[in-house]
Every structure is written in structure tokens, then in C-alpha cells.
Chain A
Amino acid sequence: MLRLPHFAVHRPGSVAEGLQILAAAPHARPLAGGTDLLVAMKHGHHTDADLVSLAGLGLSGIERSDSTLTVGAGTSLWDLMRRAWPDALGVVAEAARAVAAPPLQSRATVGGNVCLDTRCWFFNQSAFWRSGRPACLKAGGDRCHVVPGGSDCHAVSQADLPPVLIACGAQAEIAGADGSRDVPVEGLFSGDGRRPHTLSSAELLLRLRIPLPPPGAGAAYEKLRMRRALDFAAASAAVYLERRDGGCARARVVLGGLGTKPLRVPEAEAALEGTELDPRALAEAAEAAVAAARPVKNTDLTPAYRRKMAGVLVRRAALRAWTRAAGEES
């Protein structure tokens, strides 16, 4: 099997200690479930990394207040799935269930899924595989093998939780040397395939705060993948809707697997808001999703197909969210 490189592991007992280590060690990387990072290291990426285990930081657990659900970044996806969610937020468990397979769900964490690295056929390969061609942008090189001549990295964001969290309006609590701050989850993503997150190397994602939706809210997640388990999203869509007086008062539409970050689609949201999700509104939202999708040939299924699916998935997620919202609207 592929061998792990030698590496050091730090085991801080508190967030403050963890942040200190991250600030002091130039190649430090947080280690949560390790389901993605360790595979990348076996592939010869981050071989100089010092790992900082987050296991002792007390970041696991879900708490509910009157207005917010707070999910610790260290909570496993398995725990997320088993949790009884308010109906309008059942979509969070739905997304967690769509990740990989049970052994990985019990190991992988919420924070790890939010911070999941972008992926590409040319990057997620062994060191041997990559030795046959010049290093790509994401691996520190100067070219893209997917879009030859391009200067941008197109590695794709395929995590399942971020589209759902963004659609639900979640905030992320980030801790750094200067204390902690809350940012919208949407703000965690840079859009640069090379370094897809806005967190600095000395920061940690501590918690996610999901606002409890008002009555009449509903959300759904659609994931398209080759097999019914294991596979990353070739395309996905999360739709959150608030239904008031039979009409859509608010919509949030987010695509996954179709660009370097989760793609919010304001045009699709505008197409749905103020309507009763009639076929024309749905068609417009789907069209907006297709226009927003940015697939390239670096994962399963053809880019043209995946782009087309953006529309199908948004329409299906919107309809399911709408039905759920109707159930909630009392």
C-alpha cells in the first residue's frame, strides 16, 4: 500500500495551545478525521507537514439555543446524521449521509468536510503518477493540465456540507491569534483551487452556527454521483426556501461540485423569490444554475453533462424544499 511520510504530531489540549503551535510551526496543518489529509500525504502532498491533532480541543458536540444550532467542528458526520434535527434543518443530516460511506462518516468531521481540499484528477494522484508530467498549479507548479495554457487552478470543491450550510445561512466561528470571529460560511471559500479556503494557516474553524429557520422554511440537497455511496459529487445543489402566504419569501441556492468553491446563485434565488415555484420560475432558476456552473474535465462524467445537471438538481432540490416548507408552514 502507499506509505505515509514521516511526520510529527502535536496534541494540544486547548484551542489556545493549538493556535500557538499553528502560529509557530510554518508547515503545521490541523488534523481532524484525517480521511482526506492522510490520503493526500500518502500521495506525496504536504510531506513536510507537522500535524496538529484537534482531538483534544473539545470541539465535538451539538448545542441548541432558542435561535441557533451550534455544531462543533470536531463533531463526526456520523453523530451529525444520528442527531434529531428540526425538520427544516434535516437537510444537514441529508448532506452528511451523502458523504462517502459509514466507516468514513464515523471518522470524518464536520469541520473537515467544510475545510475539505479541492480535488482534481491531476492532483489526487500518487507521487509516481504525477512524476510523469510537470507539477500542476495546485501542486506548486506553473501549469494546469486540465485547461492547458490557463493560469487558474480549476480543482473542484466537492464537499457535501458547505452548499447546505451556506443555503441555511450558517456562520463559522474562526479562532486566530487575535481572538475569534464569526464569518458567513460562504466567506470561508476563496475560489482559488490552489488554496480554496480563506482561513490563514494560523487559524482554526471552531464551530458552525446554523440559525433556526422560521416557520415555513424548507431545504433539500441533491447530489449527483456515479454510485450510491463513496463517490464525491459530480454536481450537487442545496436549496433553502422560506414560504410565506403560499409564496416564496426567500430563497438560497448553492451549487457544489461545479466550481472551485460552492457557488451561490443569486439569479436563481431571484427567479424563485416572489413566486409560487411555478414551472417558469423553476425553469429560470435552473437556467441560472446552468449559467453559473463552471465544470471542467477533472472528475467523473463530462463537463457538459455536469453543467446541464446543475439545472436539474436545482429544480429538484427546490421542489423538495418547497414541499418540506409547505409541511412546516402552519
Chain B
Amino acid sequence: MSRYIGQSLPRRDARLKATGEARFTADLSLPFMLHAAVLRSPYPHARIVRLDTSRAERLPGVKAVLTARDTSGVKWGVFRYTRDQEFLAREKVRYVGEEVAAVAAESEDIAREALELIEVEYEILPAVFDPLSAVADDAPRIHDHAERNINIHVPIHVGDVDRAFDECDYVHTERTVSEEESYFMTEPYAVLAHCDRQGTVEVWMPNASPHTKAKGLANALGLPVSKVHVRHVSVGGAFGGRSDMFPGEYIAARLSQMTQRPVKLVYTREENSIAVRQGHSMVVESTFGFKRDGTLHAVDVTAYMDGGAYSSTGPIATSVPFLCFEQTYRVPNVRYNGYRVYTNKPIRGMIRTHGRAWACNVDMQLDLAAAALGLDPVEIRRRNAVRTGDTTPTQSKIFKMDSLATIKAVAEASRFREKWGKLPKWRGIGIGCVSVMSGFPMGIRGGSAAMVKFDEDAGVTVISGVVDNGQGNENVVLQIAAEALGVAPGAIQLVASDTEVTPIDQGAYSQATTLCSGNAVRLACEDARRQIFEIASDMLEAAEEDLELEDGKVFVRGSPSRAVPLRNVIRMGLLKGKNVIGHGSFGPNVDQTREWIKNPKGQLAAAFSYGSAVVEVEVDPETGFVRVLDAWVAHDCGKAINPKEVEGQMEGGLAMGGHGGILLEACKWHEGANLNPDFLGYKVPLAPDMPPIHPFIVESEDPFGPFGAKEGGLSISMCTAQAYSNAIANAIGTHIREFPHTPDRVLEAIEKRAVTGDP
């Protein structure tokens, strides 16, 4: 039935990216463009005693020097109550890498030379580098407003947890610790800003939501949003790390305002690592209580998340690991205390994996309970998996989610139950599950709208705010438009993510794009089709409801010879003053009164997806190295608009969440300085590291998604870590509580077990 939905059509950006023709921000150049560079704090916590830019200003070729003195002092924070970050430090610096001053000059070399001429006198302050030390009574205070450096506290309590533990047959407490992850997008952050003589600011930069960027930038610059145009540009990866606003875009825009010339700022790899965003490191303490039959009855979790120096997306990041848990496994009684704590480290934001210490703690608890209660890991998950019709503890209805099909797919393909307990020594198998939301309440920027217009020769142009960070979102909406209009996707033009032109869209946040942007495009195309049929019904002397649109022709259903070319219909419309322009607007069915801290209950998202993973590993007992023999991943994405894209997301998700997350990736530190901000030091898995991956797409046909589709891929990046961790535990006979499980930690666990006999 579907001609374009469910087809693995080539991506429209594939050729451009493979040949290097695609233009990323750093590739852009404008006439009279200046180059910017940023002076950053080398200290984790210091008072700025003196800041003298006069020598830099006198350097030939320097056109402007920017410090906090030249800014309005507007602070950034994703929420009104989390605005704590100035784009240039005013009185003190709070992490290594914080912006202190910036220069615009005729060349990058001059700009960097000028930085060396800026004199800053710092008074070094005591600093704190981990959340547990930061909440101690005698810890240095990082922000005046935050007692014990607690930035965010998310408290959730449903049911009666204390009584429920008394009703349990098995109660167990676990503590897990993880280091920070980093994104390592291929494209380091860059921004080009151009303020013209009318005061309009154009900006190009990698981003996940041009409309969010435009609003934040307009606020900071004191301009109406209509004066800030964030333009479309190729984006080289995001993984959550392009989600909120960064000083870079403010600095480039402000320098352009000051000089009335275009200003480009390109970060080094190190700047991209330390001065954009990182994932949260965390300490997670959990108590899980089960009934004898393996049903989860009560959970109490406290998480301390290292938020770094500023809030960023704090309330969301502190909540999401919990929310993904409550959507994954049923639990009637639950208490969560999430603390995001300020430290003198770089700012932490959203990341594709959302806390391996959190998610793996949960699935470790399930495996331990299964062992204690005489179940196998697949069975305990089958018994507890959230499914269609359930309501989560915080009151989200799960309309459609085939969790059990994903568990079944990976368990059967891997022959889990045949292997469980019977594998040779040092081999292990493990399973992990997660549910991910498609979208969540984001207020006025929580939905999407689209338009579709036609050339006089029936050429189609779709106008949508959709953002493609590399995951293939543009193809998703093109295939949706193609299906709705009966036109090949290759024949459709897409104007995307340009705030001057495209309607407000939620951006590539919260896995909402397919659901929201996709629906908006579908609705716009359906609206256009209605208009086309209205015009054509006169031409064909047939009722509108009897008409079909396919292959550029409108015809009467059942009599394909009674047809008129779409081009003629469009031209007839133009003659009659009925220019066909389709409109579509979509807002997800969420409870907009839900709030992350004050009111964490109500419908969180319109759709929830599910992912399950099994991996089989072999551990070298002498070196602690883990070889992954095979990986099976299954994902209920509702409907795969483009199966190859979904599989790509699943494979990439395993690489980042599972392989990188459990075996390799961690930020290393020395007194607040990131020791591995580069591709050599930070261990992103490489092609030869990757195991064979067997992807299974489960299609539960979401009632609200366009053609049944919802989030595609994140479920796998968030469930593979658990499978990896559990498989290693199965191979070595003990769980490792520190993440990632690097070979030194694996070997230590093996040796400790040999000594203590710890099960």
C-alpha cells in the first residue's frame, strides 16, 4: 500500500556528505568576514580581579574586544528559574574553559595573538570537583544562590514506598558510579554571525532547534525574535550536545553588532569538549523491592549528578533517567530524589545515553533479583515490562508500546534462554531494556507546523522547521510528504530550519521530530491534497472524495483513465485565484501543566517507544578485555519510515551507549582540567572495535504518529549499556559498579571475586 513509507530510500544528504560537498558552518565565508577567538579561564574557580584589554585593542587587525562590560548581563538558563549563566564571566569564573573575553580580528592568527595581550589577574578560589564533596557543609560555594551547591532537586514520590518495602520478599540496595561521557560529534562547534545595517542578525551554527536558539539569542541581544534569523546549515552530529544556548553564538553575534561585519568563530576540538556540554557523571543509590513472583513492588532511588558550573537543561537532565525507568518497568511505589549539583567543571547537558550509572543500576537490580527469585533475566523483564494501556507512576498513559515483542525478538534471536547458565567459562550474555518518550512538554515551542506549496509546473516545496543533525530527519519528512502527495521524495524541495522562513518547530529535542514535525508535514500535505481535489473535482466532474493523487496525476478512483495531470490542476487553481498552499500544525497530546520540579505528573509525551538488547561477550581473564561476540537489538519505533535510517540509528546507538558507554568512554580529570578533550584521549569506539549487530524493527503502529511512527533509535542507545554490563557480569560472575567497565576495572572485579567469593 505505502509507496514511500517503509522504504529504505537513499538519504538526500548522503552524496553531499560522502563527497565533501556538504557545507558546514566552518566552511562558510562572507565578504569582509572577521575571525573571532575566545579567551577562556585556565582555572576552575577564580575571582577576576583585573581585566585589561587595552593592549589587545591596539593590535593592528583587531576590530573589537568583547568582555562582560559590553554585554547586557542577561543570564541564560533553559527555564526562567535556572538562569544562572552569563555568556562572558563577570566577577568570577567557575570552570576551566569559561569565556572571559573575545576578540574579532582580520584573521584567526591575529585574533589568537590578541588573546595573549589581554591581561587577566585572577584570585584563585578553592574549588570542588565532584557532587558528593560539593554538597558537604564546608564545600566552597560556587553560586551565591545555591546552598550546598544544590542546583536542582527533583523529588518524586508515588505510593507508599516505606510500607511497600515491608510487603516485599526480596529487597536489595545497590550503589553505582559513573564518569562523564562526551559527545565527540565529528563537527566541532562553529558559528558565523552577520549583523546588517538594519540591525538584523543572521546566524549559522550546528544546532538542534533554530527557533530555540533564535529566541535565546534575541533575549540576550535585546532584539525582537524577528530580527534574529538562524539559518539552515549542514550539522555534523549532536547527540544531545547542541540542545541549548551557548556563549559562542552570543559572542559572534555581539562582535558582529560591534563591528558591523560578519564574524566567524570556530572552536577547537578541545573547546568543543570543554566549553559546550558534557554528560553528567553520577552516583546512584537504589533500593529495589520485589514480590516472590518477581514483580517489582517498590523502588527508592537517590541520584547525585555532577552538573558542572551552570544549569543548562538541569531539571530535564535530572528527570529523564527516572522517567525512562518508570516507562520501562512497572512499579506501583516509587521515590526518586535527583540532585543536580554545581561543581567547578564544564557544564553538563542532555546526552543521548542519559546516565549509564542510573540505567545499568536498574537492570543490575533486575538480574540480581531474578537470580535470587529463581527466574531468568528474560522472564523477570517480561513480567515487569510496561506495556500498552499502562499508566506510569507520574501519570503518563502508554497508548501503544510493544515492549514484549522487543524482548521476545532479542531473546529468541540470541537464543538467550538456551545459553543462560550454560555458556563456557568467561563467556556471558546479558539483556537490557528501556523505554524512551517521543517529545515532552516544551510549552509554546513544543509542536511543529509546516507548509507545502507548488510551482506552476507542479514542483513541490515543503517548508518545515525540521532539524537534521545527521540522523536523517529531513528524509523522514520528505518520505512522509511523498507518501501524502503521491510524488517521489527526490522531486520534493525541502526548506528547513530557517527561522525567517520556517514555522516554529520543537527541534530535534526529546525525540519529537518524527512525531511532531512529521505529523505537521503530513497534515500540510493532506490539506494541499484537499485543495487539489477541490479544484480537480470540477475538471474531472467527479466528487472530491472519489479522487486519488499519485505519480503527478489526479484521477478518479477505479477509473485511472479519467485523470488530469497535477500540473494542470495547479495551473487551474492559479487561474481561479486558488493558489494551493497546504498548512499543517501539530501539537503532541501532553499535559502542558506538567513541570519538571513543581509538578512532575501528567501526560509526559504522546508516544513511548521501547528497546531491548542482548549481547554476548567473552572476557579475557588475564587482561580484563571484553570481546563482544554478537549483539541483537530490537526497537519498537511504531513504524519505520525509512528502515535503513532506523537501523543506522540503532547501530550508532549501540556504538555510543553500549560499546562506548560500557567499555571505553569517560572524561578524565586533574583538578577540574579535562585530561582527554581530544579524539586520541577520549575513547570513542572505532570501526574495528564494533561487534556484529543484528537489528530487529518492531512496528506497533502508533495511533498518533505519522503513518504510525514515533521515536527511532534512542531506545537502543539507552538499553545497550545495560545489556553490555549484565553480559560482563554474567561472564565474570560479579557485577561491576563503576562505569565504564574498562579492562583495569574488569580485571580488578575478577581478582576481587577470586579473593572474596563475592557472587
Contact = CB atoms under 8 A, between A and B. Distances in A.
* Same complex origin of A and B: yes
Interface of A: 1-3, 101, 121-122, 125-126, 128-129, 131-133, 145, 224, 226-232, 300-302, 304-305, 308-309, 312
Contacts of A125: 675
Interface in B626-659: none
B562 to A, nearest CB: 61
A131 B120 CA distance: 13
28 contacts: A3-B112, A121-B668, A125-B675, A128-B40, A128-B270, A129-B673, A129-B677, A131-B42, A132-B43, A132-B96, A132-B673, A133-B671, A133-B673, A224-B623, A226-B743, A227-B664, A227-B686, A227-B688, A227-B689, A228-B688, A229-B687, A229-B688, A229-B689, A301-B742, A301-B744, A302-B744, A305-B624, A309-B623
B27 interface: no
B269 interface: yes
A297 B687 CA distance: 28
Nearest to A304: B744
B180 to A, nearest CB: 16
Contacts of A129: 42, 270, 673, 677
A68 B42 CA distance: 53
A145 B744 contact: no
B673 A126 contact: no
B269 A1 contact: yes
Nearest to A308: B747
B623 A227 contact: no
A308 B748 CA distance: 11
Nearest to B116: A127
Interface centre among A1, A101, A128, A300 (most CB of B within 10 A): A128
Given A228-B688, A228-B689, A1 B743 contact: no
B531 to A, nearest CB: 50
A2 B268 contact: yes
Nearest to A4: B109
A312 B622 contact: yes
Interface string B680-715: 110101111100000000000000000000000000
Nearest to A235: B623
A1 B675 contact: no
A1 B268 contact: yes
Contacts of A232: 680
A105 to B, nearest CB: 14
A-B CB proximity, top 10 nearest: A132-B42, A305-B744, A228-B688, A131-B42, A302-B744, A312-B622, A121-B675, A226-B683, A301-B744, A229-B686
Interface string B715-759: 000000000000000000000000000111001100000000000
Given A126-B270, A128-B270, A312-B623, A227 B42 contact: no
A47 to B, nearest CB: 12
Contacts of A131: 42
Contacts of A101: 686
B162 to A, nearest CB: 41
Given A1-B268, A3-B108, A3-B109, A227 B685 contact: yes
B623 A226 contact: no
B42 A128 contact: yes
Interface residues of B, number: 37
A78 B623 CA distance: 29
B268 A126 contact: yes
A309 to B, nearest CB: 6
Contacts of A126: 268, 270
Nearest to A122: B670
A228 B686 contact: yes
Nearest to A130: B42
Contact of A227 (B40, B270, B683, B748): B683
A168 B202 CA distance: 63
B667 interface: no
Contacts of A309: 623
B203 to A, nearest CB: 21
B142 interface: no
Contacts of A305: 624, 743-744, 747-748
A230 B743 contact: no
Contacts of A121: 668, 670, 675-676, 681
B266 interface: yes
Given A122-B670, A226-B743, A305-B747, 14 more contacts: A1-B268, A3-B108, A3-B112, A121-B675, A121-B681, A129-B270, A132-B42, A132-B96, A133-B671, A228-B688, A230-B679, A232-B680, A301-B743, A305-B744
A148 to B, nearest CB: 11
A236 to B, nearest CB: 13
Nearest to A305: B744
Nearest to B680: A230
A133 B671 CA distance: 10
A129 B624 CA distance: 32
Contacts of B622: 312
B298 to A, nearest CB: 38
A283 to B, nearest CB: 13
Contacts of A304: 744
A1 B268 CA distance: 4
Nearest to A232: B680
A321 B252 CA distance: 59
A229 B683 CA distance: 11
B339 to A, nearest CB: 28
B122 to A, nearest CB: 10
B42 A231 contact: no
A290 to B, nearest CB: 13
Interface in B30-46: 40, 42-43
A174 B734 CA distance: 54
Interface string B69-96: 0000000000000000000000000001
A312 B687 CA distance: 26
A161 to B, nearest CB: 19
B652 to A, nearest CB: 17
A87 B681 CA distance: 34
Nearest to B188: A1
Given A1-B268, A1-B269, A3-B112, A226 B664 contact: yes
B40 A145 contact: no
Contacts of A231: 680, 683
